[in-house]
Structure 1
Amino acid sequence: MKETLQYLFDGKTLCREQAKASLLEVGKGMHSEVEFASFLTVFKMRSITSEELAGFRDAMAELCLAIDLAEYNVIDVVGTGGDGKNTFNISTLASFIIAGAGVNVAKHGNYAVSSTSGSSNLLELLGYQFSNDPAKLKNDLEKGNFCFMHAPLFHPAMKHIAPVRRALKVQTFFNVLGPMINPSFPKYQLLGVNNEENFNHYRNVYETLDVNYIVVNSNDGYDEVSLTDDTHFAGNRKEGYLAPADFGFEKIHSESIYGGDSIDEAARIFMDVLEGKGTPEQKNVAMANAALGIQVVFPEKDLKECVEIARESLKSGKALQKLKAVIG
């Protein structure tokens, strides 16, 4: 690590393989917390490169407890968080709408970082049992077209990494790595990022991976399709901008998708939408994200057709049924 640190202190950047090798050593407990803290600090002093982020992603992927769900053709719908917007659990809700449309979802998530309620907070409160047992995850997919991978159960290397992150009390590149390191390595991903810099990194990294993907970032900083502004997107086939009207919806105000001040309140909003009692704005933003996820899996379908598939899943109660199937 000493040589790597000196190399970085000299203002140089790591290639993908160097970045991977460095983080592999950290994840295996080969370096002290002080050395690792110095390493993380480098990337607070300057911007990380896409090559470095790709290497760190490769290291965490190698270190994780991998789960083979290839037979289920799963999609993950996940955001980096860190946008400071405190929305309700839109990506998790979209996941159940997608599941209600018959598409298998393997969601990777964790407790909240910047919002009131992360996907793990919500699902834990609703009664979902976290597990890294492949049989349990596959059973959930069979019953409800959905399984959830609580990140700490799949990333044992974090025991060497988490204490330093907690001690530093600042955001690091790990805050944007999460969506990239789903341990089931899904064939399909809808990924939300919180700013243009991370959007560019994700696009650059995913161009090198064998994944069908769409990366999104709203122009006003949400790590999802917010309908509060246009959304920048990039995927395997094209890049551009989507206006709320492209989904068939009107532009909405940010307060209409606020996630509440407690996990209980976030869960109430979540269940209200699934049970058909949510506001039109809450339903529309959930359907918009679900529709884009459906289009990742079925690129031959146009976006408004995917919106109608999402609408039917939510309105018919199929999305709610999928939730009940995995928490019952």
Structure 2
Amino acid sequence: MQKKLKKLIIKICNNKKLINKFTKIKYIKKYLWLFIKFFQKKIKKIKLKKHLYYTGTGGDKKNTFNISTISSILLSFNSIPIIKIGSKKRTSKCGSLDIFNFLYKNYTFKNLKEKIKFYKKNKLAIFSINDFIKDPILKCINNKRKKKNTIFNYVFPLLKISNTNIQIIGVNNILMHNKIAKILIKQKIKRGAIISSFDNMDELSIFNNNFITEVYYGKIIKYKINSKNINIYENKKYFKKIQINNIFDSIKIFKDILFKKNIFAFKTLILNMGFIIYFLRIKKNIIKSIILIKRYFFNKKVINFYKNVIKNIKI
């Protein structure tokens, strides 16, 4: 079975008609669990527990700033341990690893052990799937991901790289929620959330409604978060205020968030961070979670750190 799947994956990478087939929801749903099992056998899990595993499918083509990455960094500064799977830019203008490497440029990681050591000290790690799977087939897949949103955008965020049972995954297609929820249960995730906006973002949006599917100890619960109901809504004409063209745009938006110069990016970030606080049941509802974020999470420790990082950069 493994050999047959490997042959199929190689065929997908080298055949234009086949790669187009595996961008369609019908075929993604049919083969997703098989592909996950194939790659899961190639992964050696790290022995880490009690952290939030925060992933996303990417490929929403919205060119927004790195919402989930910056949320993860700020939450880790406030003692919430987060592990993220990311990459350099492939399906976006700026990848998670681009931002992380820029902001933490004083750190160099020679191997996986050094990244784990950093995580234990800083409550944060952004791993690449390449850290866990050493197989030439990945190069083939990643080259295709630069051009198209395929089944592989769903496979890698759903692989278990650690022993945690808490995961949030951002998905840009609401039609995939049920399938992913069932896979999270198969992967023994006790607390999971699949998030999408009606803007087709794989994060929560202040410009539209948001759809959530939670996995709660084997049960699947669905609900919406309406940005108007929580007094955080903004008109869609301002969407361009959270869009970027390169890493420097993303860093500039981050700077503007810290000093509250870009209210649209600030609101987007506190909505996504607030949801995480609510999901972890630190607060009982999303409004109280957002209030907590506003009051305590943009503290002097965070601002001083990033002042030092970006002080010599003209942005």
- 8 Å Cα contact 1:77/1:92 also seen in 2: no
Aligned residue pair count: 299
SS of the equivalent of 1:240 reads strand
Q: Aligned equivalents of 2:298 and 2:142: distance in 1? A: 42
Q: Which amino acid aligns with 2:27?
A: I
Structure 1: which 5+ runs fail to align? Answer: 1-17
Q: Which amino acid aligns with 2:223?
A: G
Q: Which residue of 2 aligns with 1:223?
A: 202
Q: Aligned equivalents of 1:306 and 1:131: distance in 2? A: 37
2:159 to 153, 172, 181: 181
Q: Aligned equivalents of 1:321 and 1:182: distance in 2? A: 35
Cα offset, 1:318, TM superposition: 4.6
Q: 1:105-120 counterparts in 2 under 5 A?
A: 105-120=82-97
Cα offset, 1:208, TM superposition: 2.7
- 8 Å Cα contact 1:199/1:215 also seen in 2: yes
- 8 Å Cα contact 2:206/2:268 also seen in 1: yes
- 8 Å Cα contact 2:112/2:131 also seen in 1: no
2:233 to 243, 250, 255: 250
Cα offset, 1:178, TM superposition: 2.6
RMSD of the TM alignment (CA)? 3.2
- 4+ aligned runs moved over 6 Å, structure 1: 321-327
Does residue 198 (structure 1) correspond to residue 176 (structure 2)? The answer is yes
Q: Aligned equivalents of 2:130 and 2:21: distance in 1? A: 25
Structure 2: which 5+ runs fail to align? Answer: 311-315
Q: Which amino acid aligns with 1:222?
A: M
Q: Which residue of 1 aligns with 2:48?
A: 69
Does residue 312 (structure 1) correspond to residue 299 (structure 2)? The answer is no
Q: Aligned equivalents of 1:248 and 1:60: distance in 2? A: 43
Q: 1:27-46 counterparts in 2 under 5 A?
A: 33-34=10-11, 37=14, 43-44=22-23
- 8 Å Cα contact 2:88/2:94 also seen in 1: yes
Does residue 207 (structure 1) correspond to residue 185 (structure 2)? The answer is yes
Q: Aligned equivalents of 2:25 and 2:119: distance in 1? A: 42
Cα offset, 1:88, TM superposition: 0.3
Q: Aligned equivalents of 1:130 and 1:324: distance in 2? A: 23
Cα offset, 1:42, TM superposition: 5.2
Q: Which residue of 2 aligns with 1:150?
A: 128
1:83 to 60, 69, 89: 60
Q: Which amino acid aligns with 1:307?
A: I
Cα offset, 1:113, TM superposition: 2.4
Query: Per-residue CA shift, 1:147-193, capped at 9, x if unaligned?
Result: 22122222213x12422663695442112223212522532222111
Q: Aligned equivalents of 2:25 and 2:87: distance in 1? A: 27
- 8 Å Cα contact 1:145/1:322 also seen in 2: no
Q: Which residue of 1 aligns with 2:313?
A: none
Query: Per-residue CA shift, 1:15-64, capped at 9, x if unaligned?
Result: xxx6x7744xx2xxx78945864675653577225452122122222212
What TM-score do you get using the length of structure 1 for normalisation?
0.78
Does residue 234 (structure 1) correspond to residue 213 (structure 2)? The answer is yes
- 8 Å Cα contact 2:119/2:125 also seen in 1: yes
Q: Which has the higher contact order (CA 8 A, sep 6+)?
A: 1
Does residue 58 (structure 1) correspond to residue 29 (structure 2)? The answer is no
